[in-house]
Structure 1
Amino acid sequence: MNLDSIRNVYFIGIGGIGMSALARYFQANGKRVSGYDKTPTEITDALIESGIPIHFEDSVRFLEDYLLNSTNTLVVYTPAVPKSHKELVYFEYSGYRVLKRAEVLGVITENSYCLAIAGTHGKTTTTSILGHIMMVCDVPVTAFLGGISENYNTNLILNGTEVSVVEADEFDRSFLTLSPNMACITSMDADHLDIYGDASELEKSFRDFAHKLKEGGKLFVKNGLPIEGITYGIEDDSDYTAQNIIIENGAYVFDVKTPTALIENIQFNLPGRHNLSNALIALAMAVEYGCPHQQVVKALASYKGVKRRFSYHIKRDNLVYIDDYAHHPQEINAVHQAVREMYPGKRVLAIFQPHLFSRTRDFADDFAASLSKFDEVLLLDIYPAREEPIDGITSSWLLNKMTNENKQLISKEEIISKIKSSKAEVILTIGAGDIGEQVKGIKEALSHEN
């Protein structure tokens, strides 16, 4: 597809984190952008403020206002939108060019030097670290992020078009639309079994992604994964290894052994070994691309993180409040490891909102084990997202599987009162649903506490 011939870009599901990055990209490139989403959010508010018209009712009657026609309009939709969506059906039957978000990303990046981040965990943080490194090294880069960068307060980094940094999303096999020059695989834990059926099909999909590399491309894999590539790991025998790790003032200080050099005294401010691993692979890809070591070290020291990825909202001696997007048992384990490493001996309360009935069903025992590690747990109802309820799969059912004695099923309206009655010194909100919308209220309520 020749994007130069496109005048209008219309998004169905424009408020999604990946969709909104594309909307900003097309707007920055002079296209007339408009769209639909189910509900208003901070993201849709920001897009509207930037001049993008958005409506929140699935009805073709709004489309006349946007001056769309099938000859110069591209329609982009997210797989989370049902096939029966009235607007999607209208566009498909009216001869418009209709593409999934991932397909559009493939078109945008095919003529750039593309660095793609794949894996069931760590994609967003790694992509945003790598995008930040490229900016500090003044690489002409466009980076599409699956979260809001704390450094740039956006999910789109624009500094040129020669190089692209993207998340390679395994959901719906979306990453198979990409043909990167350089790629990494951070993890391959079972997930999205509603799409794949079983873990072996998910693994096959990652292998298929590895074969999508352009000729002469480089593939990086976390040490221990069953795919060949340049390896990276922490304190092991990988091609890129983080070693001599210490914690100083809440930050990691470490060295990295590369295949040809030793990069010393690197500082990285995000807690958790999972984030250290994310920083390591971003460093490895930047170094292999050709970024100077000194600039890479400078970038890692100034990296601030991604909103809802171990985001601090209160950080006092007697009270810490952290919000995190973790929605898979392995991600919850990573959050737990980070909290225990940074706050040894402190009492920790986790408030968790399960995301998807199918994921809760498929990993119930693992969720129960992960959540039971915290001192106290408050469990919210399952956030359905794109799914209908599944018989017998409820938060109450999950709660009964947990071995933690200090556990309760609560409503969102009870969160603040339950936190205030707790003796926890570290508070966590965890989940990928709308629990993030509770953060502001929780922070305000706790900020008035002594």
Structure 2
Amino acid sequence: MKTIHVLGICGSGMGAFARLLVQQGFEVRGSDEGAFPPMSLRLAEWGIPVFEGYRAENLDWSPNQTPDLVIVGNVIRRTNPEAEEMRRRNLPHLSFPEALRWLFLTNRHSIVVTGTHGKTTTTSLCAWLLESAGQAPGFLIGGIPKNFARSSELGRGRYFVVEGDEYDTAYFDKGPKFLHYQPKSSILANIEFDHADIYRDITHVTESFRRFVDILPEDGHLVVCGHEQLAIDVAHRAACAVETYGIDGDFDWVATNLVPVGTGFRFSVSYHGTLKGELFSPLAGKHNVLNALASIAIVYRLGVSFPEIVAAISQFEGVVKRQDIRGEVGGILVIDDYAHHPTAVRETISAIRTRYPTRRLWALFEAESNTSRRKIFQDQYGEVLSGADVVVLSKPLKKNDKLADTDQIDVQAIVTNLRSKGVDAHHIAEFTDIVDFVADNAVHGDVILGMSGRDFGGIHGEILKRLSERS
């Protein structure tokens, strides 16, 4: 097998996977709708041609050649022109998770990080701790760790670290992606309701995590957050060794004596009641202390020494779009974050509050995910956003998913809720108007936190540009 065609290649995970294919020596091409930066630029850098739009003839690589394998992303529907042509020609095809397992995980120790929140940072930490210890791991991550400046790497070592997503696999496989990753070591950080477009309720979500825990081998290792009762209940099913982690409690791995220092936390770490030592994590927020503990528990069992862990965590630079400082102009700091689920929004606002306790905090929020655009968490958003001083909500992202108006989130109702709590809240529909509002009203000392699972219309950069013009 030499040639591979990727459907939906410009998604962050699919593009990163395409890079692995190139590293492995395959000739790779792909198709997508809306090939735009940064992924379009990265694919060009890696020498991967991309067809703009889906057409049957994209599968004709030359007059007498079709690809040896087609990899199908989960954005592809059965009626996609290339998917239909692929089936008509009976071309060999796999989902992205199946291909990852078959091509990259079969002969490696797979470390799979799961949970509703914290996967990207924790996966990045695991990869960085192993890399710093000289293990040269492979990895595939749903974000870009700044220490690596890339979201995938083939690696030369024994270990391969994967961000384990509970979203569905492909149009022909509606099971969760992480069931394909043959986990040997795993983290279960938390379980909450999300992905409302494919899951009915929390029971449905929990069943997917149960199925994941059931496939862990007896000689495997599961690390679970001790603060999350639902995750603990699911972990009891595991046939393998299970360890808990948490802050100031009766857990196998415990963080105590948390002290905010600079951008992050200094804290002590104990294992089975024995103090291992003190370390500094440059990441803000108690949730990132938990992320660090989870990664420590995984790599320590794999032989990474605690002194190596201490050194590596102190040098961890974080992940793009996770409390990501985009710039500061005239004493006004602009931060970009991926938070969109209410729990993530709450923890991110709390972390930024801790990091900048004396500064006025703006929270700009775009409801863009398949869950946040629905009314499911409307009341919760009114609670979690109240941790900011000024809140601005844009119009929800429009998608071609036929979401009924009666099911859509009511942004104005959230604003009314926030104002009843004394929060200076606004509904400003258009991104350009949000930029104008911030530029006209932000003052020296303010922190502008823009939260969206997408690029939020590029407002972070536009705000910085306007502030520069103002000054």
- TM-score band by shorter chain is over 0.9
Cα pair 1:381 1:394 within 8 Å, conserved: no
Of 362, 383, 388, which aligns to 1:374?
388
Cα pair 1:357 1:390 within 8 Å, conserved: no
Residue equivalent to 1:421: 440
What aligned pairs does 1:191-210 form with structure 2 within 5 A after superposition? Answer: 191-210=194-213
CA shift digits 1:170-193 (9 cap, x unpaired): 112111112211101111011113
Residue equivalent to 2:161: 165
Alpha-carbon distance, 1:445 to partner: 2.9
Residue equivalent to 1:140: 136
What aligned pairs does 1:180-195 form with structure 2 within 5 A after superposition? Answer: 180-195=183-198
- Worse-matched range after superposition: 415-424 or 290-299: 415-424
Cα pair 2:329 2:464 within 8 Å, conserved: no
What letter corresponds to residue 79 of structure 1 in structure 2? N
CA shift digits 1:43-66 (9 cap, x unpaired): 111111221101221112333246
State yes or no: 1:408 paired with 2:421. Answer: no
Take 1:89 and 1:275, find their aligned partners in 2: how far apart are those partners?
44
What letter corresponds to residue 446 of structure 1 in structure 2? L
Change (3 A) 1:372 1:68: farther
What letter corresponds to residue 111 of structure 1 in structure 2? N
CA shift digits 1:314-356 (9 cap, x unpaired): 2579322110011100000011110111122422111111124
What letter corresponds to residue 363 of structure 1 in structure 2? F
Alpha-carbon distance, 1:386 to partner: 6.3
What aligned pairs does 1:240-251 form with structure 2 within 5 A after superposition? Answer: 240-251=253-264
Change (3 A) 1:138 1:410: same
Take 1:368 and 1:320, find their aligned partners in 2: how far apart are those partners?
24
Cα pair 1:80 1:386 within 8 Å, conserved: no
Alpha-carbon distance, 1:423 to partner: 3.4
Cα pair 2:439 2:463 within 8 Å, conserved: no
Of 136, 144, 149, which aligns to 2:145?
149
State yes or no: 1:307 paired with 2:303. Answer: no
Take 2:289 and 2:213, find their aligned partners in 1: how far apart are those partners?
24
CA shift digits 1:114-142 (9 cap, x unpaired): 11000011111100111011110111310
Percent identity between the two aligned chains: 27
- Worse-matched range after superposition: 119-128 or 245-254: 245-254
Residue equivalent to 2:354: 341
Alpha-carbon distance, 1:358 to partner: 4.6
CA RMSD of superposed structures (Å): 2.1
1:439 aligned counterpart, secondary structure? helix
Residue equivalent to 1:3: none
What aligned pairs does 1:90-109 form with structure 2 within 5 A after superposition? Answer: 90-107=85-102, 108-109=104-105
Alpha-carbon distance, 1:439 to partner: 2.9
2:21 aligned counterpart, secondary structure? helix
1:116 aligned counterpart, secondary structure? strand
Cα pair 2:186 2:222 within 8 Å, conserved: yes
Take 1:247 and 1:77, find their aligned partners in 2: how far apart are those partners?
45
CA shift digits 1:57-81 (9 cap, x unpaired): 11123332467856x6221222122
What aligned pairs does 1:313-392 form with structure 2 within 5 A after superposition? Answer: 313-315=326-328, 318-356=331-369, 358-359=371-372, 360-384=374-398, 387-392=401-406
Alpha-carbon distance, 1:261 to partner: 4.3
Of 69, 77, 90, which aligns to 1:74?
69
Take 2:248 and 2:82, find their aligned partners in 1: how far apart are those partners?
52
1:331 aligned counterpart, secondary structure? helix
What letter corresponds to residue 392 of structure 1 in structure 2? T
Alpha-carbon distance, 1:88 to partner: 1.6
- Worse-matched range after superposition: 245-254 or 165-174: 245-254
Residue equivalent to 2:422: none
Change (3 A) 1:52 1:358: same
Change (3 A) 1:206 1:37: same
CA shift digits 1:27-54 (9 cap, x unpaired): 0111001111211221111111221101
Residue equivalent to 1:431: 452
- Worse-matched range after superposition: 257-266 or 303-312: 257-266
What aligned pairs does 1:159-308 form with structure 2 within 5 A after superposition? Answer: 159-172=155-168, 173-223=176-226, 224=228, 225=231, 226=233, 227-228=235-236, 229-259=242-272, 261-308=274-321
Take 1:314 and 1:433, find their aligned partners in 2: how far apart are those partners?
19
Cα pair 2:334 2:460 within 8 Å, conserved: no
Cα pair 1:193 1:199 within 8 Å, conserved: no
Cα pair 1:357 1:387 within 8 Å, conserved: no
Structure 1 residues without counterparts, runs of 5 or longer:
1-5
Take 1:447 and 1:205, find their aligned partners in 2: how far apart are those partners?
48
Cα pair 1:78 1:100 within 8 Å, conserved: yes
Structure 2 residues without counterparts, runs of 5 or longer:
169-175, 237-241, 420-424
What letter corresponds to residue 143 of structure 2 in structure 1? G
Residue equivalent to 1:445: 466
Take 1:82 and 1:438, find their aligned partners in 2: how far apart are those partners?
31
Residue equivalent to 1:89: 84
Cα pair 1:347 1:423 within 8 Å, conserved: no
Alpha-carbon distance, 1:298 to partner: 1.1
Alpha-carbon distance, 1:377 to partner: 1.7
Take 1:286 and 1:386, find their aligned partners in 2: how far apart are those partners?
42
Alpha-carbon distance, 1:236 to partner: 1.4
1:36 aligned counterpart, secondary structure? strand
1:75 aligned counterpart, secondary structure? strand
Cα pair 1:357 1:393 within 8 Å, conserved: no
2:279 aligned counterpart, secondary structure? strand
Cα pair 1:357 1:384 within 8 Å, conserved: no
Paired residues in the alignment total 443
Change (3 A) 1:141 1:342: same
What letter corresponds to residue 276 of structure 2 in structure 1? I
TM-score (structure 2 length as normaliser):
0.89
